[in-house]
Amino acid sequence: MDLGRMLEATASRFGERTAFLYEDDAISYERLNRSVNAFANYLKTLGLGRGDHIAVMLANCPEFVVSYFAIQKLGGVAVTLNVLSTPYELRHLLGNSDSRAFITSASAAKRYEEIKPEIPLCRHLILADGESSPFPKALAEGPFTFAIPDIGPDDPAVMIYTAGLTGKPRGAVLTHNNLYTQSNLLRSICQADESARGLAIIPFFHSFGAVANMLAVIRVGASAVLMDHFTLDSIFGAIERQKVTYIAAVPRLFLGMVFHDRKANFDVSSLRFCVTGGAAMPPDFIPVFEKEFHVKILEGYGLTEGSPVSSFNRLDIPPKTGSIGVAIPGVEIRIVDEQDREVTRGTVGELVIRGENVMKGYYKDEEATAQVMRNGWLHSSDLGFMDEEGYIFLTGRKKRMVITSGFNVYPREVEIVLEMHPAVRKARVEGKADLLRGEIVKAFVVKKAGAAVEDRELSRYCRTYLSSYKVPREIEFVDRIEGES
The SS3 of residue 264 is helix
Give the single-character DSSP code of 165: T
* Position 62 pLDDT exceeds 90: yes
Look over the chain and give the mean of its residue pLDDT values, rounded to a whole number: 95
More confidently predicted of 193 and 321: 193
* Position 485 pLDDT exceeds 70: no
151-209 tens-digit pLDDT: 999 999 999 999 765 568 999 999 999 999 999 999 999 999 999 999 999 999 999 99
Percent of the chain residues past pLDDT 90, beyond the cut:
93
| Separation of alpha carbons 452 and 442, rounded Å | 20
The SS3 of residue 161 is strand
Which stretch of DSSP H or E encloses residue 433?
strand 424-434
Query: Residue 207's closest CA among 134, 309, 78, 108?
Result: 309
- Asked if residue 149 lies in contact with residue 40, where contact means CB atoms within 8 angstroms, the answer is no
More confidently predicted of 405 and 60: 60
Supply the pLDDT for residue 232.
Answer: 97
| Separation of alpha carbons 206 and 62, rounded Å | 16
* Position 342 pLDDT exceeds 70: yes
Assign 280 a pLDDT band (cuts: 50, 70, 90).
confident
- The alpha-carbon radius of gyration of the chain (Å, integer) is 22
Which stretch of DSSP H or E encloses residue 36?
helix 29-45
State the average pLDDT over residues 233-254: 97
Contacts with 334 (C-beta within 8 Å, 6 or more apart), sequence order? 342, 351, 352, 354, 377, 386
| Range from 37-46, 127-136, 242-251, 391-400 carrying the lowest mean pLDDT | 391-400
State the average pLDDT over residues 386-400: 94
Q: DSSP readout, 190-225?
A: T---TT-EEEE-S-TTSHHHHIIIIIHHHHHT-EEE
426-455 tens-digit pLDDT: 999 999 999 889 999 999 999 999 999 999
* Position 317 pLDDT exceeds 90: no
Supply the pLDDT for residue 163.
Answer: 76
The SS3 of residue 122 is coil
Supply the pLDDT for residue 178.
Answer: 98
Supply the pLDDT for residue 482.
Answer: 82
Measured between alpha carbons, how far is residue 358 from residues 48, 100, 176, 205, 303 in Å? 28, 26, 11, 18, 10
Q: How far is CA 295 from the centre of its chain?
A: 24
| Domains by residue range for the chain, with CATH | 3-182 (3.40.50.12780), 200-397 (3.40.50.12780), 402-477 (3.30.300.30)
Q: DSSP readout, 37-97?
A: HHHHHHHHHTT--TT-EEEEE--SSHHHHHHHHHHHHHT-EEEE--TT--HHHHHHHHHHT
